[in-house]
Amino acid sequence: MARPEKPLDPGTGPVAQFADGLRCLRREARLSYRALAQRSSYSPATLSQAAAGEKLPSLAVTLAYVQACGAGTDLAGWEARWHQAEQAVRRALASVRTGTEADAPAPYRGLARYEPTDSALFFGRSRLTDQLLALVGRERVSVVIGPSGSGKSSLLRAGLLPRLQHPGPTDTSGLRPAGLRICTPGSRPVSRHGALFVPRESEAAGAAERTGDDTVLVIDQFEEVFTLCSDVDEREAFVGLVLAARERGSRLRVVLGVRADFYSHCLRHPGLTEVLREAALPVGPMSTDELRQAITKPAVAHGLVVERALTARLVADVSAEPGGLPLMSHALLETWRHRTGRTLTLEAYEATGALDGAVAKTAETLYASLDDRQALLVRRVLLRLITPGDGAPDTRRPTPRSELDFGHPEEISAVLEQLVRARLITLDDGHIDLAHETLIRAWPRLNSWIAQDRERLQLHRQLSDAARTWQQLGRTTSELWRGARLDAARAVFAPPSRQADLTPAESAFLHAALRERRHATLRTRAQAVAVGLLVGLTLLASALALRHHPADRNERLRTTARELAHTADSLRPSDPALSARLGLAAWSIADLPETRAALLAIGAPPTRLTTPFTPAARAAELCGRDGVALTREEWQQYIPSAPYQPPCPGAAGRGPTPDP
């Protein structure tokens, strides 16, 4: 006789609740574990352990248990329940370990780059660091170039900078820099970083050319000059500052880090082309031995052990994944968080999603824990951190914290805290950034968001930059959008659902542009009305004068025609239609040099002429357009002092003349 199962309280956690569901399923089927074993490929002990409530069973055991109980039609429902329970267990485990992680620093950086303070954990790139050190000692401007995920930023920050700061006994480069500086260009590279190109007086004091007097400036993610800086003049000025360091008296050495995707962008500039030809260091994949060092040595430095099976699996996975170093670091970080004692195991690695799925699993686990409002804010925040490529790859976009003022401050802060805790974003000096561009391609949900909103995102990036410039220049009217760009922004962001995507500064910029357009329209209309009144009063005065002085009637008509021609010229830029009507009327009143010029200036002349292009031919052509010539009623309204002239004069080469 089988022993009864231990009592189980479903309220003690997700594992107990899941086990209780399995027990209920077996009781309804009225089957023993021995009978379940006969219906499945698992032993009675394994099936009994699945419903014990001590740990969550595997998905395969769960589905076999359910099918043996006769509930095979609900396998999809039980699979969904298992995934929910598994996520709940993972969140609970992460929250328990959050307090201990502060006491036990992680040996891996995840998606984040290695900083100079992480040099003790930076392994596998000693050979490349030596080559870079020699290159910087030889060339005043050098370039580190490689694909996304190859470790360029970590090489510059955790490899080069510490070696420059603390040269080793085997260092033969001769570099003894007087100063070390580092920056990323951003949207305003000259405004923000121009001062970094000026050496201190002590550095420039020596007359002799000594390597030790130079300042070394590292410009990481140099591709931001092309992706974030929309001002062509500022971009050229920044490149000019970089190339000026090649002069022997500059007292400066510049090291650029560039993504290989933007190699062609650099080749468009002759000076950068020369640097790439003479002083470029390509960052390729790590060798097998270098990968082993990057996997095992950080763990050893923290007193941990990496299973040989895990090391072999990671080496194989990363070797088959171009740009997979951030993925490897993140997978190792997650494996460390789910380690068993002091050992990082292959089982934990696979449970976290392995190389291809670890990032997506981390992101999806976070996303599944959010309510609807938080999930919407996460989408808006992450899309703010993306620069969608236009004929180029999508890139990350470091964003000021102030640009996230599109929701309640407490809600935004809570969402950012969760993203930081999941190591998906970083906060640095008031700016927010993706932990790595790998997140764009490694998380399918984020990738689909970008694909759905690509055109809107491109317009939104332009709107954000324009609003920032408008604010910096004191909200000048000249910086406001007009024409097609304003029409596009109004169409995209006018719906209430899209207005929530805008910050107060962006919303103020868009409203100011629309308000200025309305004012400009009103001014144009008022100007047209004023001109019409002026013309009417002028013609009325002329008519009254002609009535009292018949001898001067022809001269008055000529004066009226000249005034109409002048008015037509002044209205041509703002109201071409009214200008055309008045110009034709002026020539109809009197054929004068001024009226001919006004008539011939209406529109572009024909490209091919079979007859001389006379005012009469022009008038005949214009009269063929609907609404160009004044009708009799309009003539009487605007020019009552002059006799009405038909819209289409004769083809004699001369227009109408005033009546005697």
pLDDT digits (tens, 9 = 90+) for 490-548: 777 776 666 667 777 777 788 788 787 777 777 777 777 777 777 777 767 666 665 65
**What 3-state DSSP class applies to 312?**
helix
pLDDT number for residue 535 = 72
State residue 183 phi and psi, 5-degree precision: -160, 165
248/268 Cα distance (integer angstroms): 25
Q: Which residue has the higher pLDDT, 364 or 577?
A: 364
Burial class (CB in 10 A: 0-12, 13-18, 19+), 505: middle
Flag whether pLDDT at 489 surpasses 50: yes
Flag whether pLDDT at 605 surpasses 60: no
Least confident of 184-188, 288-292, 578-582: 578-582
Least confident of 103-117, 249-263, 404-418: 404-418
- φ/ψ bin of 603: left (φ > 0), alpha (ψ from -120 to 50), beta (otherwise): left
339/225 Cα distance (integer angstroms): 42
Q: Which residue has the higher pLDDT, 440 or 554?
A: 440
The first and second tokens of residue 195, run together, are 């001062």
- Which of the four pLDDT bands, split at 50, 70 and 90, describes residue 653? very low
The first and second tokens of residue 336, run together, are 């460390």
Least confident of 11-15, 236-240, 491-495, 549-553: 549-553
Name the nearest CA neighbour of 580 among 563, 565, 592, 594: 565
Chain-wide mean pLDDT for the chain?
A: 81
411/620 Cα distance (integer angstroms): 69
Buried b (16+ CB within 10 A) or exposed e, 413-441: eebbebbeebbbbbeeeeebbbbbbbbbb
Flag whether pLDDT at 604 surpasses 60: no
Q: How many helices (H) and strands (E) does the chain have?
A: 32, 12
Residue 421 · residue 95 · CB < 8 Å: no
In tens, the pLDDT along 120-150 reads 999 999 999 999 999 999 999 999 999 888 8
Residue 328 · residue 107 · CB < 8 Å: no
CA angle 330, 336, 342 (to 5 degrees): 155
545/434 Cα distance (integer angstroms): 78
Flag whether pLDDT at 442 surpasses 60: yes
335/306 Cα distance (integer angstroms): 10
Helix residue ranges per DSSP H, 185-258: 189-193, 201-204, 224-227, 232-244
pLDDT number for residue 614 = 67
Question: Around Cβ 524, how many Cβ atoms within 10 Å?
Answer: 13
pLDDT number for residue 437 = 83
State residue 119 phi and psi, 5-degree precision: -60, -30
How many alpha carbons lie under 13 Å from residue 280 in its C-beta half-sphere?
18
Could you say which DSSP state residue 453 is in? T
Flag whether pLDDT at 327 surpasses 80: yes
Could you say which DSSP state residue 119 is in? G
pLDDT number for residue 221 = 92
Flag whether pLDDT at 87 surpasses 80: no
Cα dist. 443→17, 188, 354 in Å? 30, 30, 14
Q: Which residue has the higher pLDDT, 91 or 264?
A: 264
The first and second tokens of residue 186, run together, are 């951003």
How many alpha carbons lie under 13 Å from residue 148 in its C-beta half-sphere?
18
Cα dist. 605→587, 600, 608, 613, 617 in Å? 17, 8, 9, 8, 11
- Which of the four pLDDT bands, split at 50, 70 and 90, describes residue 647? low
- What average pLDDT does range 401-407 have in this prediction? 75
- Which of the four pLDDT bands, split at 50, 70 and 90, describes residue 100? very low
472/477 Cα distance (integer angstroms): 13
Beta bridge mates, 258: 145
- Which of the four pLDDT bands, split at 50, 70 and 90, describes residue 423? confident
- What average pLDDT does range 583-596 have in this prediction? 82
Residue 426 · residue 432 · CB < 8 Å: yes
- What average pLDDT does range 170-181 have in this prediction? 79
Name the nearest CA neighbour of 182 among 219, 146, 209, 155: 219
